[in-house]
Every structure is written in C-alpha cells, then in structure tokens.
Structure 1
Amino acid sequence: MDFKLSEEQQMLQDTAARLVRDAYGFEQRESYRRTKLGYGADFWAQLGELGLTGVPLPEAYGGFGGSGVDSMLVMTELGRGLCLEPYLQSVVYAGGLLAQLGDDAQKDRLLPAVASAQLQLAVAFEEPQSHYHLNDVQTRAEAVNGGWRLSGRKVAVIGGHSAGLVLVSARVSGGERDEDGIGLFLVDPQQAGVRRRVYPTVDGFKGCELFLDGAFVDAGSVLGEPGKAFAALRYQQGRAIAAQCAEAVGAMEATCDLTLDYLKTRKQFGVAIGSFQVLQHRMVDMRSELDQATSMAMLAACAADQPDSDERSRTLAAAKFIVTRAGRYIAEQSIQLHGGIGLTDEYAGSHYAKHLVMISHQFGDDDHHLQAYSRLMEVC
C-alpha cells in the first residue's frame, strides 16, 4: 500500500506544522491555558483564516472536503503542539454530525460559520452512568407545541464552556439503552433552562457539565429525524476516534523528542545518561510503541470515511486500543527517564504525559475498545 502524501496533502501538513511551530510555543500555550476562554482566540481565528477548520467539511459549505487522512495531518500537528483549541470536538465530531444529519437550511446557516471558525460547536453525549455507551441516554426530550423540552444532565462536554451551540443527545422514546429513540438537538447554552458548570481538565483543557431543566428547542433545532440519531452518533464518533489517534501520535512524537533531548544533555558521573545502555533500550521501546501507534493511526484515518460496517468498527476499535496503550506507556516511560523534572508543571513533558493519559479515557478507554473488538470478532 502506498502511504505517500499527495502534493496537496504535503502542503496541508506543512501549513499546519508551520502555524503550530511559529505561533504555539509552550509558554504561549500556558498563557492561553490561564485565560478564561482556556485557549487562544487569535490562534483559533488563524486556523479559520488558513482554511484548516474547514478541512473535513463539505466544499459546498466553505470546507475543503478532505478525507480522514487530511484530518489526520492537521490533528497530528495540533497534538504535537499540545494545542488547546477544540478542533476535534467542534470541527470533526460536531461538524460531521451537522453535515450528516442537518437539513439544507441548517447546513447553509451553520456549516460555513464552523468552517471559518466563526462558530464553535460542542457535542454532549456522555452522562454520569453511560460509561462510553452512546446508547445509554437518560436525558429526555418531550414533544411540546412548536418543539421539544429537554431535561437531564450531560458530563465531560469538552469545549462546551465556550461553544455557541451544543449538540445534545436526548431520548425521545424507548428504554434507557435502546439504540432507537435517540434524538440530536441544537441547544444554545445561553438560553433559559440550561446551566453549565465549567471546570479545567487534568491536561489543561476546559469542559463543563450541562444541566437541562425543561430547556425549549424549536422544531428547526432538531438534527435529522427525531429518535434516529444513534447511527450518526456512532459513525461520527468513529471519525473523531481516528482524528484523536492522530492527535495522540503527534503528542507521542513530541514526548519522545523531549525525552531523547534530555537523555543527551543530562549528565551523571561525568557523562550523558543517554550513553547508558539500559536507558537506550528504554528509548528504543518508546520509539517502537510510537511506530506501532503511527501505523494504526494511519489505518484508522483510511477507514474513517468508509461506510459504517463491522469491519470499520473493528479497525477503529483496534486503533484506539493500540494508540491508547502506546500513549500511556510512552507517558510513563518519559516521566521515569526524566526523573522529578518530568512531573513539574513548568516542564512541557508533564503536560504531554497528562494529555496522553486523558486521551486514553476519551471516546472509550483501552478495556472498552478491547471488549468492543472482541464482540465484533464474534459476529464475523
């Protein structure tokens, strides 16, 4: 199989890499993290100006119409820079749902704004009891005159603190774990009946819990047919998983580079500790894990836009499992090889390690995806 990039893809990768390298140093990242917004509004605008926020979105609505591989190129560079902007949540996941389920009026109104970074979206699909199961939905949507009233609680809404609209999954019919009966609604977080509890995540991002107390949404704010959103949620989360694998690879590459530089400069007994064979072996193990994770991230990117199938789901579950295990291993080994400095807040390495651990728990941890892969093997 030929994994060479096309000329356009190489230009896309170079553009993203140059932007992150020139505008997103670690000190700049930390200054963004300490703001109320939690990320760089100017950097987000630059992503839009360069067309990077439109990469996976349809050309008819101001996007690039890019593939999973194109998204992989952008996400790898954002991961390498440890960027805080909610690209994954707004552009890949929410933008994908809007493109798949939205009617012409909704797409005409919203997708150009998402593609140009003028509108930030978030997806609220997790609940306190759901534990990675998209079909475990207790938030209710009750049909009323002119629309719907939503009641319930969503957790871990990354980027929800600053989103202009939040895509909320809610049950319109059926039991708590039925796949049928789940709807998707566009909710303005500033409207009556909606409350957010904002908090920082362990790795420096920001998220929120979303409380819905009879929040009204009109009929024009329903994405797709009410009660038939589960298939789209599952499909677009697969695309988000592939993009997140690429982000993790970028973070792992940066972590390996930081660790190698430290081994070359830190001295004990008058020599660089990188000259000790046992540490060389551990560095080789880290690079081996990175190479395997990179291969799986590429495979996931190639599968991301394929039609929904058991084979696609198996591929994405396998990729998330391998990348999660590799990311956690590299984070742990990096801290061990650095010693105490690897845990300090002033050092970039600790932030990469925390981000890799957080990635391992988003969209399902390694145990969840190993079980999913096993179940899918049974139906072969």
Structure 2
Amino acid sequence: MDFTLVEEEQMLADVVGRFVEKEYDFEARRRLAASPQGWSDAHWSTLAEMGVLALNVPQDHGGLGMGPVETMLVMEAFGRGLVLEPFVSSAVIGAKLIGRAGHKARKAELLAGIADGSLKTALATLEPGARFDLWNVSTRAEATRDGFVLNGRKGVVLHGDSADILLVSARTAGEQADKHGITLFAVDARAQGVSVKGFPALDGQRVAEVVLNGVRVDPQAVIGTIDQGYALLEWTVDQGIFALCAEAVGAMSRLSDLTFEYLRTRKQFGSPIGKFQALQHRAADILTAVEHAKSIVYFAAAKLGEDDDLAAHRAVTAAKALIGRSARFVAQQAVQLHGGMGMTDELAVGWYVKRLTCIDMTWGNTEHHVELYGAFL
C-alpha cells in the first residue's frame, strides 16, 4: 500500500500546517478556549477562504469533492495545534451526511452553506443513559399531517451551541433499543421548542445539551429513509471517528515532540536527562506508539476510500480502539517525563493529554470499540 502523498495532497498539508503554526500558538489557543464562544469567527472565515470547509462537499454542490486522505491531512495538522473550530461537526459530518442522503430540495442550500462557512451543523445522537450505543434512542418523532413532531434529549453534542442545523436521530418506530425504526432529521437549531445549552468540555472544546420539546419539522427535514436510518447514522459516526483518529495522531505527534525537546534541554547531574538510557527507551516506545497510530489511520483512510461500508466500519473501529490505547500510553509517558509540571494549565502538555482523553471518550472509548471489533470476529 503506497502512502506517498501526491503533490496536491502535500500542498494541502503544507497550507493547513502553516495556518495552524501561525494562528495556534499555545497562549493564543488558551485565550480562545476561555472566550464565551470558544473558537474564532476569523479563523472560520480563513478556513472557508482556503477551501478547507469545502473539502467534503460534492463538486456539483460547489465543493471540492475530496476523500478521506485530505480529511486526514487536515485533521493531523489540527491535532498538532489543538484547533477549536467546529470543523468535524460541519465540514466532515455535516457535509458527508447531507451529501450522501440529504433531501433533494434542501441539499444544495445546506451544502453551499457548509462550503462557504455560513452554515454550521452538529450531530445530536447520543442520549443520557445510552452511553455509546447509537441504537439506544428514546427521542421520538411522531408523524403528523404536515411532517413530524420531535420530543427528546441529546447529550454531549459536539459544537451543538454553534450549530445552525442539528442532525438528530429520532425513533419513528420500534422500541428504545431497536436498530430498526430510527430516522435522521435536519432540525433548525433556532426552531420553536429547541433548547441548546452549551458549555466547555475538559479539553476546552464546546459541547452542548439539547432538548427537543414539541419541535415541528416538515417532510424535507428527513435525511435518508424513514425507519431505516441506523446504517446511515453508523456510517456518519464513522466519518467523525476517523477524523478524530487523525486529529489524535497529530496531537500525539506534537506531544512527543514537546517531550523529546524537554529530554534534550532538562539537565540533571550536569547532563540532559535524554542521555539516560532508561529515558531513551521510553522515548523510543513513545515514537513506536505514534507510528502504530499513524499506520492504522492510513489503513482506515484507504478502506474509507473504497466502496465497502462494512470493511470501512471495521477499519475505523480498529483504529479507534488502537489509537485510544496509544494515546493513553503517550499521554502518560509525556506527563511522567515532564514531572509534576506536566499536568499544569501553564504547560501545553496537559492540554494535549486532555484533548486525547476526550477524543477517546467521543463516540465510544477504547473498550467499547474493542467489544465492537470482537463482534466482527
């Protein structure tokens, strides 16, 4: 399998890398995370002008129609800078889901808005008490003469408080834990009956709790086929998980760089501590873990680029499980090698550890995905 980047891919990686290097020094990122919105409108406009937000939008709707490799390159760069903008929620999940199954009457408008940055989406699927089970849906969508009425709650919605459109999973048939009977809807976040309460997560990223109380939507809000939305939901979450895995690789890579630099400069007994053989072995283990994570993300990118949803799902599940373990190991080693200062807010190391921890807990932690992969076997 040839993982050599072609010229256009390398140019994309370089452009996004320069953006992150310029705009996301550690102190600037801390101030931005502490702001009420938690991310920058100026950065979002810059990403739109660069064409990054249009990567996953089909070409016939004003986008670039790129694939998973391009998403991987962007997310690796974002991981190195701990970028806060809602790229995954809108430019990956929103663009992919609406592009694949959005209602024909609304698809063009929504995708154009995603591509130019004027419209943001958020996937509202997990519910209180359901843990990571996508099929455990108690939110109901009752059919009416002119559409549907939605009632329910969604928890930990990534960038839900900045979304214009909420991509909601709701039950139109069956019992709470049935995979059949789930339907996806595009819901206006400002519609009557929609309540969104945003707050910062452990890593500074914004999440939200969403309550739907008698929210009326028309038939054009349906994404995909009524009662048969679970497979589409699973595919959509896979796109988001893959992007987060790529981000984790970037974060681990930067965290290892910071750690190696500390080993080269911190002196004890008159010598850099990096000269001690025991610490050299630990540094080698860190580098090995990062390379393992990078390899499986490349593998997942290759599978996502093929026309086989089951193989792609297996690859993404394996990637999430392995990267969770690698990220935990790299984070623990980085903190230990930095000593007690490794977990202080004043040092970047602690924020990378927090971000990697939150990535592991998003849409299923390591143990959850190990169980899912075991079911394939």
TM-score range for the pair, normalised by the shorter chain length = over 0.9
* Superposition deviation, residue 17 in structure 1: 0.7
- Aligned pair count reads 377
Alignment of 1:132-143 (within 5 A): 132-143=132-143
Structure 1 residue aligned with 2:353: 353
SS of alignment partner, residue 198 of structure 1: strand
Matched, 1:131 2:141: no
For 2:188, the equivalent position in structure 1 comes to 188
CA contact 1:100–1:232 (8 Å) conserved in 2: no
- The residue type equivalent to 1:33 in the other structure is A
The letter of the residue matching 1:226 is I
User: How far apart, in 1, do the equivalents of 2:181 and 2:164 lie?
Assistant: 26
Deviates more, 1:287-296 or 1:111-120: 111-120
2:16 is equivalent to residue 16 of structure 1 = yes
Identify the residue that residue 153 of structure 2 maps to in structure 1. Answer: 153
Residue 101 in structure 1 maps to residue 101 in structure 2: yes
Can you list the C-alpha shifts for 1:57-112, whole angstroms capped at 9, x where unaligned?
21111211111111101110011110011111111112211111112221111101
Superposed, 1:49-128 pairs within 5 Å as: 49-128=49-128
**Structure 2 counterpart of 1:7:** 7
**Corresponding residue of 1:37:** 37
Question: CA 1:125/1:312 → structure 2, altered by over 3 Å: closer, same or farther?
Answer: same
Q: Which moved more, 1:193-202 or 1:45-54?
A: 193-202
Distance 1:50 1:158 in 2: 23
2 CA distance for matches of 1:157 and 1:166?
Answer: 9
SS state at 2:160 partner: coil
Contact 2:103 2:221 in 1 (8 A): no
Q: Is the 8 A contact 1:121 1:166 kept in 2?
A: yes
- Which position in structure 2 is the counterpart of 1:291? 291
Asked whether the equivalents of residues 156 and 209 of structure 1 are also in contact (C-alpha less than 8 Å), the reply is yes
The aligned amino acid for 1:143 is A
- CA drift at 1:344: 0.8
| Alignment partner, residue 216 of structure 1 | 216
Secondary structure (helix, strand or coil) at the match of 2:5 reads: coil
Q: For residue 284 of structure 1, report the CA deviation from its aligned partner.
A: 0.7
Q: Distance in 1 between matches of 2:253 and 2:139?
A: 39
User: Is the contact made by 1:243 and 1:301 (CA closer than 8 Å) also made in structure 2?
Assistant: no
Aligned to 1:326: 326
Q: Which secondary structure state, in structure 2, belongs to the residue aligned with residue 360 of structure 1? A: helix
Instruction: State which drifts further: 213-222 or 285-294.
Output: 213-222
Deviations 1:197-251 (A, max 9, x none): 2211000111111011111112222212222211111112112222111110000
Alpha-carbon separation, structure 2, partners of 1:305 and 1:239? 11
Q: In structure 2, how many angstroms separate the alpha carbons of the residues matched to 1:104 and 1:144? A: 21
- Note the C-alpha offset of 1:309: 4.2
Does the 8 Å CA contact 1:239/1:305 hold for their aligned counterparts? no
Deviation of 1:15 after TM superposition, in Å, equals 1.0
Q: Which amino acid aligns with 1:48?
A: A
Q: Unaligned regions of 5+ residues in structure 2, if any?
A: none
CA apart distance, 1:315? 1.6
Determine if the alignment matches structure 1 residue 317 to structure 2 residue 317.
yes
2:247 partner amino acid = E
Q: How far did residue 347 of structure 1 move?
A: 1.1
Q: Name which of structure 1's ranges 68-77 and 230-239 shifts more when overlaid on structure 2.
A: 230-239
Match of 2:264 in 1: 264
Change over 3 Å in CA distance of 1:75–1:157 after alignment to 2: same
Question: Any stretches of 5+ residues in structure 1 without a counterpart?
Answer: none
Does the 8 Å contact 1:122/1:167 carry over to 2?
yes
Structure 1 CA distance for aligned equivalents of residues 103 and 173 of structure 2: 22
The answer as to whether partners of 1:155 and 1:209 remain within 8 angstroms in 2 is yes
Instruction: Please give the alpha-carbon distance, in whole angstroms, between the structure 2 residues aligned to 1:197 and 1:53.
Output: 25
Identify the residue that residue 162 of structure 2 maps to in structure 1.
162
Deviation per CA, 1:14-59: give whole Å up to 9, x if none.
Answer: 1111111112211111121111111111111111100001112211
Return the letter of the residue paired with 1:239: Q
Tell me which moved more, 85-94 or 204-213.
85-94
Contact 1:196 1:210 in 2 (8 A): yes
Could you tell me how far apart the structure 1 residues matched to 2:300 and 2:225 are? Answer: 29
**Cα distance in 1 for residues equivalent to 2:105 and 2:7:** 35
Q: Is the 8 A contact 2:224 2:232 kept in 1?
A: no
Distance 1:78 1:267 in 2: 32
Contact kept, 8 Å, 1:310 with 1:376, in 2: the verdict is no
SS in 2 for 1:154: strand
Inter-partner Cα distance in structure 2 for 1:282 and 1:272: 15
Q: How high is the TM-score relative to the length of structure 1?
A: 0.97
Give per-residue Cα distances to partners, 1:301-338, cap 9 Å, x unaligned.
11123334443222211111111100111011100000
